[in-house]
Structure 1
């Protein structure tokens, strides 16, 4: 099998070094997904409520549209994430099944393959042979899965966790524009909502940049720019449709 692993396959120097790194990476991935989910909730719901506000001043209609958009978006995010992660989990299980079969049918060849994988990472041949032999004796499947596939057989992705997390993140983001436009005075509700959304997008842009270790300024500007464009377009469409239907 091809070497699609990462440096996480190199044995750690202590019993807790690598698990801590893997745990930190997993937490960062979840946090990044939560920030992006909240960002989607903010932008999509703000687009809907601002668009409806462009068509009508009826507070009830705006709130109904916002609630519907938030619910539909959260459910769509959850369903999409469940399907995506389920597919990933099925693929991981299939690869692990294949690895088990190869270990059963050709243990000597698999040991040599593991040795060569460690050599490719810069470990000398004698040490690579020793590491491969010891890890194979301890848990051959885990050793091969981590180095070749980048998979921990005991910690496969959970589609239900991903679905609920995406739904929750989207809902939290969607609540901001919905509550702001619902409780703002009619004369300024659109502008107050835009300002609140800009502030929220600046925060999520900054957070995503920090989690990704990228420049915060550009991420914040991109986030705010995208949100403003979305709201401007939906408001214009709402105003056009509202004028046409009135």
Structure 2
């Protein structure tokens, strides 16, 4: 992590710079969706490849099952992410409507809630009453304050469509990388699997590195952590395939 210089920090905290930043509309951040989709896509695909190879099946089977799982699981994950974000938005809207109804029916009770919330933050006397009067004078501000302070929810709604698209695109793009060697003619199954493993490892490390860059964390440590997570899932799939092959006496193709 490289801390900003004092000069840069001072420049960013000038009154006009702060005003411009606060008036700027919030950007939709889909980085978490990209990371989630990428990791799950690579784990899913390479787990299929490892299971197929561990069971001794033909590389063509790995290719077919890999792409089938890639599209189906990617779509399922995108829909799940969409539904999750949409449900969260509906939940927040229901709380907003409830608070609006309470303000209409028992305004003094809602004012008392504001008073006690900020009293617990250390405000008292005339200052506390000014805060209560200021917030309760603006119904939108009043409701937003209750959402954050009483219910502990974020008032910024995410776009479920953008999140779903980012998840699906990342899932399919990164998840397809381990399948590339199986589309190259002339390679032995063992070499195909070895190259696929290297590509999957590279993807896992790259995702971890990308995540670390977003939050100014150590790149190598984050990359290795993600690599170990994905590698463990692939190893389990390989072992399951191998054990089942031995148990049922499946002949390698």
- TM-score for both structures, normalised by structure 2: 0.75
- In 2: Cα distance, 1:214 partner to 1:125 partner: 44
Stretch moving more, 127-136 or 76-85: 127-136
Partner of 2:184: 183
- Unaligned stretches of 5+ in structure 1? 1-12
Question: For residues 75 and 162 of structure 2, what CA distance do their matches in structure 1 show?
Answer: 14
Q: In the alignment, is the contact (CA less than 8 A) between 1:54 and 1:235 conserved in 2?
A: yes
**Pairing partner for 1:245 from 221, 226, 250:** 250
- The number of equivalent residue pairs is 228
Q: 1:93 to 1:216 in 2, by over 3 A?
A: same
Q: Between 132-141 and 58-67, report the one with greater CA deviation.
A: 132-141
* Residue in structure 1 matched with residue 10 of structure 2 by the alignment: none
Match of 2:51 in 1: 51
- Structure 1 distance, partners of 2:86, 2:69, is 25
Residue 220 of structure 1 and its aligned partner are, at CA, apart by 2.4
Matched, 1:171 2:185: no
Q: Is the 8 A contact 1:180 1:196 kept in 2?
A: no
Q: Which moved more, 1:87-96 or 1:119-128?
A: 119-128
CA displacement 1:31-75 (0-9 Å, x = unmatched): 123112211111111111232233346343221111011012102
Query: Aligned equivalents of 2:214 and 2:119: distance in 1?
Result: 32
- Specify the structure having the higher radius of gyration (Cα): 2
Residues 102-129 of structure 1: per-residue CA shift (max 9 Å, x gap) = 1111222322322332343345543343
Aligned to 1:202: 205
2:129 is paired with a residue whose SS is helix
Verify: 1:192 aligned to 2:195, yes or no.
yes
Question: What RMSD in Å do the two structures reach over aligned CA positions?
Answer: 2.9
Judge which range, 229-238 or 212-221, deviates more: 212-221
Distance 1:169 1:123 in 2: 47
Q: Does 1:134 align with 2:139?
A: no
CA contact (8 A) 1:181 1:192 kept: no
Q: Distance in 2 between matches of 1:132 and 1:164?
A: 42
Q: Which whole-Å deviations, capped at 9, do the CAs of 1:62-106 have from their partners, x for residues lacking one? A: 211110110121022123223322332232122112101111112
Q: Does 1:236 align with 2:228?
A: no
TM-score by length of 1: 0.77
Deviates more, 1:88-97 or 1:110-119: 110-119
C-alpha spacing 1:16/1:126, structure 2 compared with 1 (3 Å): farther
The equivalent of 2:157 in structure 1 is 156
Cα pair 2:33 2:163 within 8 Å, conserved: no
SS in 1 for 2:150: helix
Q: 1:10 maps to what in 2?
A: none
The separation in 2 between residues aligned to 1:223 and 1:130, in whole angstroms, is 50
Query: Counterparts of 1:59 and 1:103 in 2: how far apart (Å)?
Result: 65
Cα 1:37–1:101, aligned 2, differ >3 Å: closer, same or farther?
same
Q: 1:196: Cα distance to partner?
A: 1.2
Gapped regions of structure 2 (runs ≥ 5)? 1-14
Mapped to 1, the partners of 2:103 and 2:193 lie a distance apart of 63
Q: Which whole-Å CA distance do the structure 1 matches of 2:124 and 2:37 have between them?
A: 45
> Out of 123, 131, 146, which is 1:144 matched to?
146
